[in-house]
């Protein structure tokens, strides 16, 4: 199959300390060898109609589906996810095999 992506689009609750959540997430993935890469970003154009209140995107890359499953079932992830979900008003999650059309330079 090849690389697998884990994509989370998040809408945080009003008043949540987003920076603390981001730091905790970065710390989590830095200790997990099965995570090949981790990226995140905050929405920057402000088109409310298009983003529907979602403000942040998180993308993790795994070598394969087994590594993704290992991450999702890891005790450190299951501990963190309770805290993460408590900070969210809403989220979209997609896990998918990556189809690269134009690789990074």
Alpha helices in the chain (DSSP H): 18-30, 48-51, 65-73, 75-87
d(C-alpha 4, C-alpha 99), whole Å: 9
Residue 97 reports pLDDT greater than 80: yes
Locate 33 and state its tokens: 């060898």
Query: How many domains in the chain?
Result: 1
Question: Between 65-73 and 75-87, two packed helices, what is the crossing angle to 10 degrees?
Answer: 70
Structural domain contains residue 59: yes
CATH number at residue 26: 3.30.70.100
Say what the pLDDT of residue 57 is: 96
pLDDT digits (tens, 9 = 90+) for 31-47: 999 999 999 999 888 77
Locate 89 and state its tokens: 């008003």
């Amino acid at each position: 199959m090849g690389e697998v992506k884990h994509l989370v689009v998040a809408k945080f609750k009003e008043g949540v300390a987003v920076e603390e959540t981001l730091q905790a997430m970065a710390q989590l993935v830095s200790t997990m060898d099965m995570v090949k890469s981790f990226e995140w970003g905050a929405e920057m154009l402000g088109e409310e109609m298009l983003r529907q209140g979602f403000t942040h995107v998180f993308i993790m890359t795994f070598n394969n589906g087994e590594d993704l499953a290992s991450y999702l079932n890891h005790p450190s992830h299951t501990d963190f996810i309770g805290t993460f979900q408590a900070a969210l008003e809403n989220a979209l999650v997609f896990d998918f095999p990556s189809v690269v059309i134009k690789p990074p330079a």
